[in-house]
Structure 1
């Protein structure tokens, strides 16, 4: 989405990697995930706002806008994160129009409307992927959410939907063993981490029931109401299997 708006984007897989990138060059805006491995987004913001020092020789000015990005979506989150020093707040999954509104305010990009953008340059396609996804979708997926993904890649040249589906497959393949191990060990924080990780990604691909199950599990653990946790984890596993089946059907070439 950022590239669709003409932004040059650099990704960081952790807060520490992101802070080091801010030392290497100057950026106009930072989108900061709150929950990250190791250092979280709030601690990273604290280091950045201190400015250049012995540990981090920032080239990006400490007054640069920093947007808090989180999948928690709890009441009062926006006020809390703004109070902590963030300049903006986006709750995942956010829509292209929401991102465009924020960028137009913070970076003064032309306010031409999110639907009037020139598609990004094509990227290499996945081997074996169909030229374009079929119009219909399966029951475990929300058609409107999938359409929003298609709208980001209207010609299908970037194979965006296929790449998102592949990323979801990879993610669930990694997270399911973590879920089983954490649940078997009674590690509630581990179970909550998996649920949180899956919550926004599943909503982004239209797996709204799966996203709601993840939110339920997060809430149960946060409120220490875990009597029915086993049944919810079982339901989560079953819904992941259903979503995977729907995704596979979605990407089958039209007959």
Structure 2
């Protein structure tokens, strides 16, 4: 066809190259080499963009004591390798009983918990941890399972797990889960964090994209942002108290409303974990069955203290944090 011709649907086709007739073999060869070379470069570029991104400094910037609970030897090695490439070293446990033994020896900030394990599975181990360790003293528990059904996720959260990643592990999903973790108990020899390190800790608790959007909406007015933070800190304890009272009275509708409002406020500041817990509490209120509400409320209360500390740092050092 002609160079300016159109296809049947009226659109002009995209040509990779043009040849004039009569076609010379040497010209044809040059054109084909150019086309295939360009496609190869595009393919390589696409593969580079979609490669898992490993930040070997993550373990230094966001240090965590990790316990990996996994009975499959292949999964153990693969998970350890991924963590090593992120700058972490993890202790190992092959079942829930070994998890409990490890926790009695030393504190951890996060447990990457396989759900299906022999002797004691991840769900039962989580229930025991929630019973024997206070919320502020126990590690964050991240479920690892190949089961992708909603009921499987619900079972993990009902047992007391805090987060969920699917197997096979995706690097970006693991990184996000680790970024949502905080240090449970500071090591005795740990130095006081620098201003920069404090800011990084705040960012792991508060979603940076949400903070940037908030700043844009506020027109870079730090005083206005500080006012919003003050309102959040004033309203949140009141809403949590309202929710606690509703739980005590078995008032499902009041619980739902309080959790919904608190969830919305958390989302504005990027407090994703607190917002997730509020969403769970809201769902409980909506269902009318308040079983488990008290435990989730306790977790919200503990998470609020972390969010509050992060927001205080952000307001104190807006030039560094926002």
- Would the TM-score normalized by the shorter structure come out above 0.5? no
Q: Structure 2 length normalisation: TM-score?
A: 0.34
Q: Which fold has the larger relative contact order, with Cα–Cα distance below 8 Å and residues 6 or more apart in sequence?
A: 1
Q: Structure 1 length normalisation: TM-score?
A: 0.43
